[in-house]
Each structure stands twice: as C-alpha cells, then as structure tokens.
Amino acid sequence: MAPDSPEKIEVILQGIPASDGIAYGRVFVFIQSEVEVPHYEVEAEKRIDEVARFDQALLLTRQQIAKIQNEVEKNIGPEEARIFDAHLMVLEDQALITETIREFETTRMNVETCFNKISQRYIKAFTEIDDEYLRERASDIRDVAQRVLNNLLGQADNSLSKLADQRIVVANDISPSDSAGLDRSTALAVVTDSGSKTSHAVIVARSMKVPAIVGMRDLTTRVVNGEWAIIDGYDGIVILNPSESTLFRYGQIQEQKKTFETQLLDANDEPADTLDGEHVTLMANIEKVDEIGLVTSYNAEGVGLFRTEYLFLDTSRIPSESEQTIAYQKVASALAPNPVIIRTLDLGGDKPMEGNAHLFPKENNPFMGFRAIRFCLEHTDIFKAQLRAILAASAHGSIRLMYPMISGVEELDCANAVLEECKMELRQKGTAFDEKMVVGTMIEIPSAAITADILADKCGFFSIGTNDLIQYLIAIDRVNNRIAHLYEPTHPAVLRTIKHVIEEAHRKNITVSICGEMGGDPQLVPLLLGLGVDSLSMTPPLIPAVRFLIRAMTMADARQLADDAMNLSDPKQILALCTDFYRERMKAK
C-alpha cells in the first residue's frame, strides 16, 4: 500500500538498532501517563486499614503479574516468561515493603505517598548504575510500582494488547508489562525514544522476531498516529513518509537480509576457522545459570565471562556459599570439558544490592570508587565465601577464575593471597577442588594495561574489558547522551593499549581474550584478531555473525588490516578501513 499523502517529504532518522528486521506500516504513538499520587495524612483510627489496603494491593499485583507471566509462557515461550520473575521478586522484597511500612508509621501519610517515595528511591539507585543491563532493571521496579499504585487508586492501566490492527508502536519507553501485551499479529515493530538493547521490550521483540529501535530521543513528538514509516532494525533507521523508490529498495534489502540470516545460521554449525586455516575460539558472556542453553545452541566453546554479581543482585540477601557452589557447578558440569571463566564479584558503588545499602557508602563518582576487587578485599568474608564456592565447583568441570577492576600488582597479590587462604581451608575440610585452576585478571583500567608485563608474571591469562577500558582511557561516559558520540573503540589510544597488552601477555606466554562489546562486533573482530587476540567472548546471539565473518577472511589479511590501522591517526578513518574490510568479505561470500 502506498502512503496516503505522496506530497509529504521523506524524513530519515537515526536510532540504535536493537532487534533485526524491516517493517512498513502505520504508526501508533503509545503514551503511558504517570499516576498522580494523592498526598494526605491518615487518621489514627484508619491506620490499620491503610496497611491492610497496601497488603491487598500487593496481592492483587502479584496475581496480575502471575497471569501475565502465564500468558507470555503460553504465547511466546518459557525463557521470555522468566522476565517476570524479577517483577514477582520486587513484590516479595522485604526491604521495599518494610521501608514503606516504616515510612507510613513515621510520617502517617497515605500509603500511596509512602510507597511511591520508597520505590522512587530504588528506581533512582538502579538508574544510576553504570552497567547497561542492570540499569534497565530500574524498569522492572518502575513497572511494578506503577501497577501497585494503579491498584491502590483503583485505576485501570493502558495495554498494547488492545491494538486495533497492525501498527508500528512508537513510545517514549515500554514497560515489561506493556511489552508482554505485544501481539505479533498486530505489532509490526517497536520504536522507543529511550531504552536500550537490554530493555524488556527489546527482549520480547527479539523473541517475537519483531524489529526494534531504541534511543530515538524525540520521535514521539515528531510523528502522529496513522503516519506511514519504514523501520530498519538492522541499522537503526526510521524513515517517515517513505517514497516509492525507498519502498522498492527496502523490499529488496529485506529479501537479501533473510537470505543472509539463513547463511549465518548454516555457518554457525561450522568451526570458526579462517580461510588460511587458523582457528578462532569463540566463547559466550552469560549472567545466569539458565543461559547454559544459549551457550550450547550457539556452539560457543565455553564461557569467557560469567558475571557472578547477578546471583547477588537478583535477591535482597547475600546468597550462601552452598547456593553459589551449586550455581557455578551447574554451569561447569553442563559445559565440560569446555572452560568456564568465572569473574568474581563486580559489585560496588555503581551496583548496590537492595537491602544492603550499608555495604555501599554513597560516592560522588562510584564508577571509579569502591567497587569490584576493592569491595571484595575489604569485605573478605563475602569474597572468601565466593572463592571457596568457585573452588569447590572447579572439581566438576573446567573452571577458571578472573578478578575484575585490578589496577595494579598489589591488588592482584592481595586477591591471590585470599585465594590461597581459601584453598587451605578447603584442604583442611577435605573438600575437593582443582589444585591447578588457572587464575586470570581483567584488563579494564589504564594502570593495569600499562603494567601488563608485571601482572602477567602473577596470573595465567588476561581478558580485556573494552567497555570500561575505552571510557577510562578517553574519559568518556558512554551512558551520557551529550558525549556518547565521543566513545570511539577505534581511537588510536585504545588500539595501541590493546596491542601493548597483547604483546606483553604473549611475551610472558599467557593468552588474551576480549570480553567487551568490541569482541562481538563483526566489523571490529578482524582488527582485534590482527592485533593478536587469542579468543573472543560475547553475548551468545552475536556468535553466528562473528563466526561467519571469520570463515570469510584470512588471518594474514587481518594482520595487514591491523598494521594499516596502526598507521592512521583518525578514529573515523580506522573505522572506515574496518568497515570496508568487512563489506569486501561479505560480498565475497
């Protein structure tokens, strides 16, 4: 169908691609209004009833979410239904409930006011977290809080399940509950002003194979209901009022993309070998035990980064040593003999645990403050419990240990000393563990990169966390919209630092992996391999595209690419060089 008003000017807008696919249709602007919270003092004789009203609202919310979860499991799948486990956990968070009751008893204000104040405090804490995935969890709390307030006030909530016909959904953001209401027969695509690639709306869209774009900033104010648009989820492009020639071109692109995706999946069953016979080890980054299936289904050769802090952040209490042992053992035994690299806790000022605020003092700059290994070396009871759990699990598979945020040899020595204490304790108890378990460190602080030769004498491998390393090297907060455009992985300082780390590691006969976002970007992978990286670890769904590219190139060409890049001074020229390299290999395939 052609646009209703051909005279309208075609407008092309850029966002962040979040779910692959191309869609064409009319826009539906979804506006989710905030609940207006009343503010009044509760009379003494009604205070017991007020607490009971709060309990009833929590119960009703729990029932509503359980119903949504059942519908999602039936219509989309069990993995996607687990999204709402986090929502149910919010409702069972004793810290949140207790603090609300305490606020009510102290102020005597109505329970809506008290609950809104406490929940907003939690939302703010998660919003300020540096980690993108964890920052998105603020939407879980916001979604649940909105539903609880609706139930307290007796108001009905909006729903995307009521779309009359096929539409491209455009919103400022989409809550998990709203995303659960998406119907693949009516939702052609999802586009949001805010959000990220890890938002629940995006997760659901990917599961439904619905194109999605995030980070459009002000699209909701630039479009109107019924306007025609093309959504390019591959490149993050929104085209308003597309011309006939654009429609024809995108029809061709869509067919090409479908063919290419089929090729990717076919190639994923093949080894990641270059055309000149060099094998590249591709591993997976995971956060939870239930992601084991993703590791195997995408044919990863083990886990290059197991982010253990999610075991702690999924609950308001610190998991016991035995609970941790069981979790690590499940992953190790399921993936044996492939290795599983377990990163010790990366908790701290930017990743506070609910209900444990006393462990994390407020900081002006938490991203460079009391976190990760610094936190662990001060709270050795928590650290030792985790280390013993990892050691005990090492008897059931090929586990390697990795420390985060190491800034120098002193911290590495201290961490290893604590590890030796844990080994001695387990020997005394007669608990079996791998006496030869390899211990490595992440390189994500410039001081660690500069002293790589010293650190290499103290550990068995390096894993470069490019996300943090880049922002520390060039002083760019990648989550700050005003300066995010300055975040450049191809900056000469970044490439020189990576090359230095690799050279020093290889001189000391230890391996180097990349576990940051660069390692999962097919356009940058040849450059990294040309610099000498030994293995790559990434989010599992990114593996097929990286594997496909590796099988289309030679390592000799990758080394030449790296040499050429190192002779350039402009990050954009280096990126263009990498892009041309990638496109030439894709054409050849």
Long-range pairs for 8-13 at CB < 8 Å and ≥24 separation?
A: 8/240, 8/241, 9/241, 10/239, 10/240, 10/241, 10/242, 10/243, 10/246, 11/222, 11/239, 11/240, 11/241, 12/237, 12/238, 12/239, 12/240, 13/216, 13/219, 13/222, 13/237, 13/238, 13/239, 13/240
Residue 172 binned pLDDT confidence (cut-offs 50, 70, 90): confident
Rounded to an integer, the average pLDDT of 497-508 is 97
* Residue among 145, 139, 149 nearest 180 (CA): 139
Rounded to an integer, the average pLDDT of 56-84 is 76
Rounded to an integer, the average pLDDT of 85-97 is 80
Residue 416 binned pLDDT confidence (cut-offs 50, 70, 90): very high
Q: Is the pLDDT of residue 520 over 70?
A: yes
pLDDT in tens, 568-589: 999 999 999 999 999 898 875 5
Q: Which fold has domain 44-153?
A: Enzyme I; Chain A, domain 2 (1.10.274)
Token pair belonging to 413:
């020595």
Task: Collect all residues with Cβ–Cβ distance below 8 Å to 359 and sequence separation of at least 6.
Answer: 352, 353, 375, 379
pLDDT of res. 207: 67
Rounded to an integer, the average pLDDT of 226-250 is 92
Inter-CA distances, 295 with 260, 279, 469, 498, Å: 22, 19, 26, 26
pLDDT of res. 588: 59
In the chain, residues under CATH classification 3.50.30.10 are 11-32+159-245
Query: What is the rounded distance in angstroms from the CA atom of residue 249 to the CA atom of residue 141?
Result: 42
Rounded to an integer, the average pLDDT of 118-126 is 85
Q: Which span out of 143-152, 200-209, 328-337 was modeled with the highest average pLDDT? A: 328-337
Choice among 114, 422, 515, 578 that is catalytic: 515
pLDDT in tens, 489-500: 899 999 999 999
Tell me whether strands 212-214 and 22-30 are parallel, antiparallel or unpaired.
unpaired
Token pair belonging to 86:
């986090």
Bridge partners (DSSP) listed for residue 273: 279
Q: Is-catalytic flag, 485?
A: no
pLDDT in tens, 439-480: 999 999 999 999 999 999 999 999 999 988 988 898 876 555
- What is the share, in percent, of the chain residues with pLDDT greater than 70? 83
pLDDT of res. 240: 94
510: helix, coil or strand? Answer: coil
Rounded to an integer, the average pLDDT of 419-426 is 97
Task: Collect all residues with Cβ–Cβ distance below 8 Å to 297 and sequence separation of at least 6.
Answer: 540
Q: Is the pLDDT of residue 323 over 70?
A: yes
pLDDT of res. 315: 63
Higher pLDDT: 315 or 279? It is 279
Query: What is the rounded distance in angstroms from the CA atom of residue 176 to the CA atom of residue 69?
Result: 11
Query: What is the rounded distance in angstroms from the CA atom of residue 308 to the CA atom of residue 286?
Result: 9
Bridge partners (DSSP) listed for residue 401: 342, 439
Query: What is the rounded distance in angstroms from the CA atom of residue 158 to the CA atom of residue 29?
Result: 13
- For the chain, what is the mean pLDDT? 85
Q: Is the pLDDT of residue 361 over 60?
A: no
Rounded to an integer, the average pLDDT of 425-444 is 96
Residue 173 binned pLDDT confidence (cut-offs 50, 70, 90): confident
In the chain, residues under CATH classification 1.10.274.10 are 44-153
Residue 296 binned pLDDT confidence (cut-offs 50, 70, 90): very high
Are 535 and 283 contacting, i.e. CB atoms less than 8 angstroms apart?
yes
pLDDT of res. 185: 77
Choice among 200, 422, 459, 491 that is catalytic: 200
Question: Is the dihedral angle over the CA atoms 253, 257, 258, 259 positive or is it negative?
Answer: positive
Residue 5 binned pLDDT confidence (cut-offs 50, 70, 90): very low
Residue 206 binned pLDDT confidence (cut-offs 50, 70, 90): confident
- What is the share, in percent, of the chain residues with pLDDT greater than 90? 47
**Vertex 412 angle, CA 411 and 416, to 5°:** 115
pLDDT of res. 279: 97
pLDDT in tens, 74-90: 666 666 677 677 778 78
What is the CB-side half-sphere exposure of residue 506 using CA atoms within 13 A?
Answer: 11
pLDDT in tens, 133-158: 666 677 778 878 888 888 888 765 55
The single residue listed with the structure tokens 């990294």 is: 528
Higher pLDDT: 35 or 336? It is 336
Q: Is-catalytic flag, 396?
A: no
pLDDT of res. 299: 94
Residue 481 binned pLDDT confidence (cut-offs 50, 70, 90): very low
Query: What is the rounded distance in angstroms from the CA atom of residue 532 to the CA atom of residue 562?
Result: 9
Rounded to an integer, the average pLDDT of 245-256 is 88
pLDDT of res. 131: 65
Query: What is the rounded distance in angstroms from the CA atom of residue 179 to the CA atom of residue 71?
Result: 12
What is the CB-side half-sphere exposure of residue 212 using CA atoms within 13 A?
Answer: 31
Query: What is the rounded distance in angstroms from the CA atom of residue 181 to the CA atom of residue 83?
Result: 13
Q: Is the pLDDT of residue 532 over 80?
A: yes
Task: Collect all residues with Cβ–Cβ distance below 8 Å to 279 and sequence separation of at least 6.
Answer: 271, 272, 273
Inter-CA distances, 169 with 314, 402, 476, Å: 30, 42, 32
Higher pLDDT: 394 or 475? It is 394
Rounded to an integer, the average pLDDT of 87-108 is 86
Q: Is the pLDDT of residue 93 over 60?
A: yes
Task: Collect all residues with Cβ–Cβ distance below 8 Å to 320 and sequence separation of at least 6.
Answer: 385
Q: Is the pLDDT of residue 390 over 90?
A: yes
Residue 350 binned pLDDT confidence (cut-offs 50, 70, 90): very low
Q: Is 512 left (phi over 0), alpha (psi -120 to 50) or beta?
A: beta
Q: Is the pLDDT of residue 12 over 60?
A: yes
Higher pLDDT: 309 or 83? It is 309
Q: Which fold has domain 11-32+159-245?
A: Glucose Oxidase; domain 1 (3.50.30)
Rounded to an integer, the average pLDDT of 210-224 is 87
The DSSP code sequence of 343-399 is EPP--BTTBPPTT-GGGS---S-GGGSSBHHHHHHHSHHHHHHHHHHHHHHGGGSEE
**What is the DSSP-derived secondary structure letter of residue 273?**
B
**Least confident stretch, 227-241, 366-380, 401-415:** 366-380
Count Cβ atoms within 10 A of the Cβ of residue 148 and give its class: 0-12 exposed, 13-18 middle, 19 or more buried: buried
